[in-house]
Amino acid sequence: MAGRRVPAAGVVAGERALRVTSPPGWSEAELATLAAVAETFVRGGAVRRATLAAGAIERSLEPDQVRQLRRVLRLLESPAANLVLARRAARYRDLTPARRERYLLRWANSPIPQRRAAFHALRRLLTFLAYADPGETAANPHWRAIGYAAERPPATLDLSPVRPYALPAAGAAGTIELQADVVVVGSGAGGGVVAADLAAGGRSVVVLEAGPFVDETTMPASELDSFDRLYLDHGLAATRDGAVTLLAGAAVGGGTLINWMTWAMPPDDVRAEWQRDHGIAMGATFVADAAALGVELSVAPAPTLPPRDAAILRGAEALSWRASTIERNARDCTDCGSCSFGCPRGTKASGIRAHLATAQAHGARVVADARCNRVLVEGGRATGVEATAGTAVGLVKLLVRAPQVVVAAGALRTPGVLARSGIRHPSVGRHLRIHPAPVVAGRMFEPVRMWLGPLQAARLDEFAASQRGRLGYVVESAPAHLGLLAQAMPWEGADAHASVMQRAANIAPLVAVTRDGGEGRVVEAKRGGTRIEYRLDADGVATLRHALVSMARLSRASGALEVIAVGMPPAVFGREGVPSGGESTAFAAFEDRLSRFDFGPNRGSVFSAHQMGTARMGSDPRLHPCDTDGHVRSGARARDVVVRGLYVADASLFPTGIGTNPMLTIMALARRVARTVAAEG
């Protein structure tokens, strides 16, 4: 996984299982305090949760962040500090449960951003673990109470043909060397397409993937295991201030392995803007590439409409709003909802089923657990890459000599690869777009079981870019499993949180994919990970508020008994017990509250599963680190100097957000870059 250390020795997927052992260096007092905090958030299983949490913190966060969290734990243990913070000279552990809650809530609502950040970091992790961890005996007590059972579809017998390439033994100098025509860094949506197209065109291709290879028989069966093995930073990626949870894939297949498969064309006005303002041809060739990719990925509407998506269509009809069913890249996929754990059935047309399989069928070598450190650039041209690979004998240096290098490590990691390779352009790492997604949860009368059925089968288009331009967004269902739901739901005390979670089976959550108002940047951090910063601007906040109001109306119109706008504090509208005459007035007051919702850092909850724009493509050498064919530009003064043989082919290329699901656009741009690479090889 990018940003995490490459495993110490020939790691196979099964060996990555979480270890419930305390990380070295953590004191008993720190762990006991963490357990007390865990118990305050969600009752039960706190000791195991604290151990899991400490391990996850150690493996996923930057050293200074780990130090900071441990400092917070020590602060909580200090009677002297608590005299100031909580007006009580006692250790946090020794406070009564009610006092512990009040203590945490003071941090949650503190005017000091660092306190809010610490509260939310711990809240997210500890509530997630409470509901995502199957427990020692695969019998998480919450699951039984809620009636949650992630389906365990039988693993397909028809395994994906992709097999990781077995590296040869290292030479005397402890280095493995490979030769290829093209090396592709990253095996996600963009990298997979480039590898397939070039290998099918007869080129010798090596794909390096920092994450592990997981086949269908060993796909995770639980949310916790899937976050641990398949997600960037074990699912703990977030902006530096903790305000935005960032989800991204990080195994062979990248985001395609775990994503929700929604296939969407970029809006017409975005295509027009990219062409007009950034010089990117978005006409007939783009449309033809998109259509061909749809065929390659068996794109089709979902065969069934699960309750959470039926609610979108029902609500939209009641409001006379535009909505549609969604096309998805899966075939024969009906019931199990395990798509975000990878797909044991093999019905999802993810990278390992589609483009990487094509690439391998044409001889491409897909190397898992191989993290590219830098591209080798000599005399202004790329000559290969240097990587660190996990092998049976430990970590080894891997050199891949190739005259052409395509970087497709995703928008959160590609800038680091370029920076470590000496690429200099002021926009590398900047202009990060994340499609900030606010959440509204509707509690229905009937069970919804959001975790089952084809993911995202319907969408609300009423406020799309075609209607609202720059401020456009689409509304989709959020097919979360319990861990993600638990961390998304507001926490105003253990009982209140537990009460919402007990009714999880009836919750139909909605997310809005907004076109960014605001942007961020990705800065290289010490351990090879990144520091990610993001700020909403006034347009961004206005769009999020507009989206909250629309989602609340949609949820109510689809029959929700209760509507929760997620944040701290949340805004809640309940129908039960309200006299019928008073409902409209109460809802109007609720809308008014949403239209002023606080989206300050760590107040309004914002998620992102789409990261883009950190090596943007375009015709202006001063603004765009990549030209319109994907070549990389570098040079402090002469920024239009192209590094020969070096290309980018992932979501980093987006010059702006698009306000809808990006996979199709990434793949179509990658195909364009593949044509450039083929023509110049």
Ligand X SMILES: Cc1cc2nc3c(=O)[nH]c(=O)nc-3n(C[C@H](O)[C@H](O)[C@H](O)COP(=O)(O)OP(=O)(O)OC[C@H]3O[C@@H](n4cnc5c(N)ncnc54)[C@H](O)[C@@H]3O)c2cc1C
Residues that bind ligand X (CB under 6 A): 1-2, 185-191, 208-211, 247-250, 254-256, 258-262, 340, 371-372, 408-411, 413, 417, 456, 609-610, 650-651, 661-663, 666
Under DSSP, the state recorded for 306 is -
Is 648 within 8 Å of 554 (Cβ atoms)? no
The DSSP element (H or E) to which 576 belongs, if any, is none
Provide the minimum distance between the beta carbon of 665 and ligand X in the complex, in angstroms, as a whole number.
8
Cα–Cα distance between 230 and 312 in angstroms, integer? 29
86 or 489: whose CB is closer to ligand X?
489
216 or 369: whose CB is closer to ligand X?
369
Cα 374 to its chain centre, rounded Å, is: 24
Which residues, including other chains, have CB under 8 Å from residue 287's CB and lie 6 or more apart? none
Under DSSP, the state recorded for 398 is E
Provide the minimum distance between the beta carbon of 466 and ligand X in the complex, in angstroms, as a whole number.
18
Cα–Cα distance between 360 and 163 in angstroms, integer? 8
Provide the minimum distance between the beta carbon of 594 and ligand X in the complex, in angstroms, as a whole number.
25
Cα–Cα distance between 387 and 400 in angstroms, integer? 8
Cα–Cα distance between 514 and 392 in angstroms, integer? 45
524 or 583: whose CB is closer to ligand X?
524
Q: What angle do CA 501, 505, 507 make, to 5 degrees?
A: 75
Provide the minimum distance between the beta carbon of 66 and ligand X in the complex, in angstroms, as a whole number.
21
Closest listed residue to residue 213, CA positions, set 413, 2, 14: 14
518 or 662: whose CB is closer to ligand X?
662
Provide the minimum distance between the beta carbon of 668 and ligand X in the complex, in angstroms, as a whole number.
11
Cα–Cα distance between 648 and 410 in angstroms, integer? 10
Provide the minimum distance between the beta carbon of 394 and ligand X in the complex, in angstroms, as a whole number.
18
209 or 273: whose CB is closer to ligand X?
209
190 or 306: whose CB is closer to ligand X?
190
262 or 628: whose CB is closer to ligand X?
262
248 or 594: whose CB is closer to ligand X?
248
Provide the minimum distance between the beta carbon of 521 and ligand X in the complex, in angstroms, as a whole number.
17
223 or 273: whose CB is closer to ligand X?
223
Pairing of strands 518-524, 370-378: unpaired
Cα 281 to its chain centre, rounded Å, is: 28
Is 188 within 8 Å of 410 (Cβ atoms)? yes
Strand partners, 405: 183, 646
For residue 384, the tally of other CB atoms under 10 A from its CB is 23
Strand partners, 378: 381
1 or 402: whose CB is closer to ligand X?
1
Provide the minimum distance between the beta carbon of 264 and ligand X in the complex, in angstroms, as a whole number.
6
Residue 264 token pair: 């969407």
Q: Kindly name the residue from 355, 425, 610, 631 that is annotated as catalytic.
A: 610
35 or 185: whose CB is closer to ligand X?
185
Provide the minimum distance between the beta carbon of 211 and ligand X in the complex, in angstroms, as a whole number.
4
Which residues, including other chains, have CB under 8 Å from residue 264's CB and lie 6 or more apart? 326, 327, 474, 660, 661, 664
Question: What ranges in 133-281 are assigned the alpha helix state H?
Answer: 141-146, 189-200, 223-230, 255-258, 268-278
Cα–Cα distance between 113 and 131 in angstroms, integer? 27
Q: What is the DSSP string of 97-124?
A: HHHHHHHHHHHHT-SSHHHHHHHHHHHH
Which residues, including other chains, have CB under 8 Å from residue 432's CB and lie 6 or more apart? 411, 519, 520, 521, 522, 532, 533, 534, 611, 612, 613, 614
Sign of CA dihedral 405, 406, 407, 409: negative
Closest listed residue to residue 606, CA positions, set 435, 485, 469: 435
278 or 371: whose CB is closer to ligand X?
371
Length of the chain (residues): 681
| Catalytic residue status for 610 | yes
Provide the minimum distance between the beta carbon of 286 and ligand X in the complex, in angstroms, as a whole number.
15
Which residues, including other chains, have CB under 8 Å from residue 619's CB and lie 6 or more apart? 278, 279, 280, 627, 628
CB-based contacts of 520-523 (< 8 A; 24+ apart in sequence): 520/239, 520/432, 520/433, 520/434, 521/429, 521/430, 521/431, 521/432, 521/614, 522/411, 522/412, 522/415, 522/416, 522/429, 522/432, 522/614, 523/429
For residue 332, the tally of other CB atoms under 10 A from its CB is 10
Provide the minimum distance between the beta carbon of 171 and ligand X in the complex, in angstroms, as a whole number.
22
Provide the minimum distance between the beta carbon of 354 and ligand X in the complex, in angstroms, as a whole number.
13
Residues carrying an active site annotation = 610
